[in-house]
Structure 1
Amino acid sequence: MRRGLGWASLATAASLATACATPVGVDRASPRDVHRELTENALSSDRASAATREFLTRASLVQRWKDEPDETLLALHRELAPAGDLDRLFALAELSFVRAERTNDPSHALAAALYAYAFLFGDDGDPAWRALDPFDPRIQVARHLYNRGLTLGLADSREGVVDLSSKRRALPFGALDVASSPADFVWAGWSLVRFAPAADYRVRGLDNRYRKAGIGAPLAAHLGEEMTPSPAGALVAPRLRVPVTAFLRVDDVRAQLASGRVRGRLEVYSEDERSELVVHGEAVPVELEKSSSLAYMLEGAPIWDFGLLGFRLGDYLPGRSERLVLLHPYIPGRIPLVLVHGTFSSPATWAQMVNELENDPGISKRYQPWLFIYNSGNPVVYSAGLLSEALQKVVASLDPQGADAALRRMVIVGHSQGGLLTKLMTVHSGDVFWNNIARKPIDEVDLDPDSRALLQRSMFYEPLPFVKRVVFMATPHHGSYLSDFRVTSWISRLVKLPARITKLTLDVAMKGGDEFYLSALDRKPTSLDNMASNNKALRALAALPVAPGIAYHSIIAVRGDGPWEDGGDGVVKYRSARLEGAASEKVVKSGHSVQMTQEGIQEVRRILVEHAAAAD
């Protein structure tokens, strides 16, 4: 009996042994979890990558790294060979970054950047780094370790900026002497004074966050003083945040790492000047955060308040005297893309479109965006006169010799009321507007010089010779039905017209009925009145054809699912936004703010590609 029990026990033990996992084998797991384990690194998790963990395992340093991380890093540094030894070099870069994250010690962040630099670029005479497999995942990780390590290592946490000044900085194994030149901190004649870490911000309000991958710490630079005044300099947006890259160049990096005394030079690059740098004779793209810089510029900006204030106050223009706003220095050879906002709006309404077009290489290399700002409660012809004057002035000042052909292939995109201003840049008006208010030709009317100049600019239009294409977005060519409502007259009373218009109105009233139709003074001539369907000037403009040689396109917004021919966008009906003879007409399912939609933006992009191709 006992003997039988013994055999049973052995059989049971054998059965249990076969049911247990073998010392080496596999377990079924989610492919996503396995991929995460294979690709995680110090930048995306709280532990190092598989490559670094493998190195620690082979070197029998796993436990020591846990117990004595700083001593482990110093030991690895001392044992670093003068050339090659790329596995150790990468591990040093990543482990230093882990240590920087855990301790908030900038010296470890700078060490991570230096080790990553040595891994990526090495020394010119060292063939080991050139032999790296281009598919080695460590290359991309090392690039990010350099970029992030440099940003963290140079950060001034008290000011929330990155300090690019020349100074000595501590390293865990010695010191880093950083040299920089104020001459590098210049963009288009402007000094650059503060550098915000663009990669440290989440972006809200934009559909896409674009980042140009490359090397360097991506920063958003504040403008200081205009060091070299120029016609274009006065047009640069005062709150502009310039996307730039800081790059720390280190010669003989392996020898300097071994000595413990490292010297490097900080270089600053902007895409307008150079989109690549050269290391050991090879071109390397720079990293840029263009969407982050755009959103950073608009964060808390007064321009958001201009929509309402600019509508109500006819003379209000915050912090500037020029009405054209440039986001880049004037670049010969690039076609101006002029964006004209609508009613109750401001140039900020174009943020979505600017973000998309500026990050499309095919567009950004061919076009330069110019934004027009105007007080949208003022009469349409008054604002259009300002646009015409501003464009003629800037073209003449930027290229007085007429050498830049691209400058004379201008494209204007107008949204809502901005489309009416845009059309006035394309027509021969003759005296159709003047005849609505005056009984005599302007030359026969007794006016003071200022009033005469204002009326001449606002009432008489000729096509601008440098405008070759226009795009109308949700434009009320035949009126906005909201302007026909009684509430519009109440809102119009809130508008304070510019002093020049008020003075002109008094001058006209004093002339009596012999020279002017005084009935034109019965209502305050605001833009809302101008966009009523029965407005004489609006009807006259709708009847004027776009001049030959200027292509025009319509992008029309329609809400809902009904027939679009009978629809509208809540402000402008389809039939009002439509123009016969357009080179193209695109109907977008959208509310009135079609300029913010991806479908509307991509149609503008298509038109710009077509325009650029026609210029080639």
Structure 2
Amino acid sequence: MTFPQACRLMAWVVLAPLLLGGCSILREFSPVVEVRTLPAGEAIEAKRGDILTRGKLSDATNQTIRVAALDAQACAKPISTDCVQALAAVTGVGTDRRLAALSELWLAQAEAMKPGPEQQAAWLETIRYAYAYLFFGDHAPGERAFEDRQTQVRDWYNHAVERAATDMFEVRQQMPSQLLVQTGWNIAGWELKLDMRGARLPGSTAVPAELLPASSLSFRGLRSLYRRDGFGAELVAVMPDDTLTAAPTRDGRPAARRNQRPPPWSEMPAPSMTVLLHPEGDDLGSVLHTRTVRLTVHDPYVESAIMLRGQRVPLAANFTAGYGVWLARAQFNRQSLRSLLGREGGIDRPHVYLMQPYDPNRRIIVMLHGLASSPEAWVELANEILGDEALRQHYQIWQVYYPTNMPIALNHTMIRRALEDTLAHFDPSGQASDFVLVGHSMGGVIARLMVSSSDQSLVQLASDQGRLTPQQIRRIDPMLRFEPFPKVSSAIFIAAPHRGTAFAGGRLGRWMAGFIRFPVTVLEELAHTLAPNAAASSHESLGHIPNSIDNLDENDPFVRAAASFPISTQVRYHSIVAQADPQVALVDSDDGLVPYRSAHLPGAQSEKVIISGHSVQQNAAAILEIQRILREDIDLREARSMQR
């Protein structure tokens, strides 16, 4: 190396620290804070993103960690409690800010853990700090009503309760049966107290078979999912299989020989519920140190809000999930076809399904499906009524599932009896409010019979056919003579062939009718009714009994006679008529099966014509019309009550 090169190297060694220091000095002259404009989506994500939505801590929690002089990288590590313990001990950070951050940190811990006692403890810690933030923080919930942070904390609480409750349920299911009746036990180092007073489970069943988080359920085949934002975990209590299946199937034995039939009703076998977990304590300090938590169960149809720490708190609810689970698992589609054809595995008598626990203060909507159908026919309408707050407060839904192969007169009689038995069970004192009947297609014909008074025409018809003796006719008198069903105030007939249809008497209708068979149980029961002392095989001598398709023929004597029965003057009735081709004059039109002339009823309070095929009950316009009629009924009742 030459002397000049050595000098230059020595100069760089001496000047380098000065130059680097100069860069630091130069940086002092640059802006301390820089700003950039975020797209709307990125800005909202920054405010609302959290451990649940993006898998990492929210910006607000990270800011709290930095303000508390904690190591952000250490706090981001899963399954480490060092950060939460350090943050819990920090002073000088606002209470709300600290409690919210601790709730999310514990939630992150729980999400990273494997199922077991440690994870259960982490869920309960998440609940503890979220509960403390919401009710013992610097501000009341109402003061933070529009804050994103409170919404985040509420979501963390609801999610942790959902996970903790379902995990606790699994633990409880594994306990010996004698311990299931206990209302308290220890879990994950916590004492759990169980308060089931708000739960309304079907029948006498004490324990569900499954407890499903509603938030994890996705449904195909439903237009809308109806729920209510609020406090608590939205769950579905799935009852044992024998209460979840469709109506009881026939067992092949004649009804007269059975010692006891199952009841003709079922309560919703997958009820929705809202669950809360309350850490015990009357102040912030006691809540943060308690090891006791109380679990309460609430019926969303009964309670929309509760008073909690002096605050009126809206309860979360899901009104679609339980209904959707029931329909998805009941397999009505297969059973209804077997019933129509009279095959094994179908049903041989009507069954009433209560869509929610019975409430004597709510009016009853009775839904009657049509030929070859089932409660699945009402999936959209029932869901819309359950999801409409005003209608939900005034109405409860009963769906009648009946074998659509039977003669209309027999089904009408059996449906009346099933409804009477259901009322006698749930309302023995007769306090029930009035009924609203909603019938589609053949169900509309049956609904019309339920609000009509018969004359002597059916008795005369039975006599003229010459197959029955006067004594036998007297035995089937309830099928031939009847008055309007008590307490029915309104009826909605949808695409109902009141005067029959040419389709039923046509070639295709007759071909279909030829496949229909009545169950042996029904034939033997009819034979026993007509000839109590005859042998069981006497049903073979009954001859041809008209089935449902026979009765829907426009030339059938029964449907022609029934069309003339007067409707009760106490019943307000409405018609919804489908018109398949809008280019055809209304009076000459049909819906593909039912002509307008058959569906039209003079004297109706309203008649809505909808461009649709026969399954118009699923049409959004028809559902809106039914909702309008139901709301109109509410207004009329309220107006009458004010005049008294």
Give the TM-score of the pair, scaled to structure 2.
Answer: 0.79
Alignment partner of 2:274: what SS?
A: strand
Amino acid at match of 2:285: A
Measure, in 2, the Cα distance between the counterparts of 1:270 and 1:313. Answer: 39
1:15-50 superposed Cα distances (whole Å, 9 cap, x missing partner): xx9xxx977444454323322332222232222323
Aligned equivalent of 1:14: none
The 5 A counterparts of 1:200-349 are 200-223=216-239, 237=266, 240-252=269-281, 254-256=284-286, 258-259=288-289, 262-313=291-342, 323-349=351-377
The 5 A counterparts of 1:205-604 are 205-223=221-239, 237=266, 240-252=269-281, 254-256=284-286, 258-259=288-289, 262-313=291-342, 323-395=351-423, 398-399=426-427, 402=430, 404=431, 407=433, 409-439=434-464, 445-447=470-472, 452-453=474-475, 455-499=476-520, 502=523, 524-563=545-584, 565=586, 566-604=588-626
Residue 156 in structure 1 maps to residue 170 in structure 2: no
Aligned equivalent of 2:255: none
Alignment partner of 2:575: what SS?
A: strand
1:611 aligns with one of 613, 626, 633: 633
In the alignment, is the contact (CA less than 8 A) between 2:341 and 2:517 conserved in 1? Answer: yes
Alignment partner of 2:396: what SS?
A: strand
Amino acid at match of 2:238: H
Amino acid at match of 1:588: I
1:235-271 superposed Cα distances (whole Å, 9 cap, x missing partner): 6526611111111112227435654x51111111113
In the alignment, is the contact (CA less than 8 A) between 1:315 and 1:497 conserved in 2? Answer: no
Q: What's the C-alpha RMSD, in Å, of the aligned pairs?
A: 3.6
Measure, in 1, the Cα distance between the counterparts of 2:238 and 2:206. Answer: 6
The 5 A counterparts of 1:38-117 are 38-60=47-69, 61-67=71-77, 70-79=80-89, 85-104=95-114, 105-117=119-131
Measure, in 1, the Cα distance between the counterparts of 2:444 and 2:62. Answer: 61
Deviates more, 1:324-333 or 1:368-377: 324-333
In the alignment, is the contact (CA less than 8 A) between 1:179 and 1:266 conserved in 2? Answer: yes
1:497-542 superposed Cα distances (whole Å, 9 cap, x missing partner): 25576458879999xxxxxxxxxx8854111111112222212222
In the alignment, is the contact (CA less than 8 A) between 1:108 and 1:153 conserved in 2? Answer: no
**CA gap 1:157/1:335 in 2 versus in 1, 3 angstroms:** closer
Measure, in 2, the Cα distance between the counterparts of 1:22 and 1:564. Answer: 78
Alignment partner of 2:144: what SS?
A: coil
In the alignment, is the contact (CA less than 8 A) between 2:451 and 2:571 conserved in 1? Answer: yes
Alignment partner of 1:414: what SS?
A: strand
User: What is the CA-CA distance between 1:92 and the residue it aligns to?
Assistant: 1.2
Measure, in 2, the Cα distance between the counterparts of 1:596 and 1:615. Answer: 27
**CA gap 1:500/1:246 in 2 versus in 1, 3 angstroms:** closer
Alignment partner of 2:415: what SS?
A: helix
Aligned equivalent of 1:13: none
Measure, in 2, the Cα distance between the counterparts of 1:236 and 1:351. Answer: 19
Measure, in 2, the Cα distance between the counterparts of 1:557 and 1:586. Answer: 8
Amino acid at match of 1:288: A
Measure, in 1, the Cα distance between the counterparts of 2:382 and 2:223. Answer: 12
Give the TM-score of the pair, scaled to structure 1.
Answer: 0.82
1:95-141 superposed Cα distances (whole Å, 9 cap, x missing partner): 2223333334443333222211111112xxx7654684332211111
Measure, in 2, the Cα distance between the counterparts of 1:491 and 1:579. Answer: 28
Amino acid at match of 1:559: A
Deviates more, 1:341-350 or 1:537-546: 537-546
Measure, in 1, the Cα distance between the counterparts of 2:293 and 2:526. Answer: 66
Alignment partner of 1:70: what SS?
A: coil
**CA gap 1:452/1:42 in 2 versus in 1, 3 angstroms:** farther
User: What is the CA-CA distance between 1:328 and the residue it aligns to?
Assistant: 2.7
In the alignment, is the contact (CA less than 8 A) between 2:64 and 2:101 conserved in 1? Answer: yes
Alignment partner of 1:437: what SS?
A: helix
In the alignment, is the contact (CA less than 8 A) between 1:313 and 1:496 conserved in 2? Answer: yes
User: What is the CA-CA distance between 1:585 and the residue it aligns to?
Assistant: 0.8
In the alignment, is the contact (CA less than 8 A) between 1:73 and 1:96 conserved in 2? Answer: no
**CA gap 1:421/1:315 in 2 versus in 1, 3 angstroms:** farther
Aligned equivalent of 2:14: none
Measure, in 1, the Cα distance between the counterparts of 2:148 and 2:198. Answer: 33
In the alignment, is the contact (CA less than 8 A) between 2:338 and 2:346 conserved in 1? Answer: no
In the alignment, is the contact (CA less than 8 A) between 2:272 and 2:322 conserved in 1? Answer: yes
User: What is the CA-CA distance between 1:54 and the residue it aligns to?
Assistant: 2.1
**CA gap 1:607/1:258 in 2 versus in 1, 3 angstroms:** closer
Deviates more, 1:490-499 or 1:338-347: 490-499
Measure, in 1, the Cα distance between the counterparts of 2:100 and 2:528. Answer: 79
**CA gap 1:564/1:358 in 2 versus in 1, 3 angstroms:** farther
Alignment partner of 2:518: what SS?
A: coil
Alignment partner of 2:563: what SS?
A: helix
Deviates more, 1:22-31 or 1:467-476: 22-31
Q: Structure 1 regions of 5+ residues with no counterpart?
A: 1-16, 227-232, 511-520
In the alignment, is the contact (CA less than 8 A) between 1:217 and 1:246 conserved in 2? Answer: yes
Alignment partner of 1:427: what SS?
A: coil
Measure, in 1, the Cα distance between the counterparts of 2:525 and 2:88. Answer: 82
User: What is the CA-CA distance between 1:93 and the residue it aligns to?
Assistant: 1.1
1:119 aligns with one of 106, 128, 133: 133
Aligned equivalent of 1:144: 155
Alignment partner of 2:307: what SS?
A: strand
**CA gap 1:476/1:131 in 2 versus in 1, 3 angstroms:** closer
Deviates more, 1:436-445 or 1:366-375: 436-445
In the alignment, is the contact (CA less than 8 A) between 1:468 and 1:549 conserved in 2? Answer: yes
User: What is the CA-CA distance between 1:145 and the residue it aligns to?
Assistant: 0.8
Q: Structure 2 regions of 5+ residues with no counterpart?
A: 1-25, 175-179, 244-261, 532-541, 639-644
**Overall identity of the aligned pairs, in %:** 27
1:329-376 superposed Cα distances (whole Å, 9 cap, x missing partner): 332222111101111111232222111111212111111211112110
User: What is the CA-CA distance between 1:207 and the residue it aligns to?
Assistant: 0.9
Measure, in 2, the Cα distance between the counterparts of 1:481 and 1:138. Answer: 65
**CA gap 1:362/1:56 in 2 versus in 1, 3 angstroms:** same
User: What is the CA-CA distance between 1:589 and the residue it aligns to?
Assistant: 2.5
Aligned equivalent of 2:187: 169
Alignment partner of 1:476: what SS?
A: coil
In the alignment, is the contact (CA less than 8 A) between 2:191 and 2:292 conserved in 1? Answer: yes
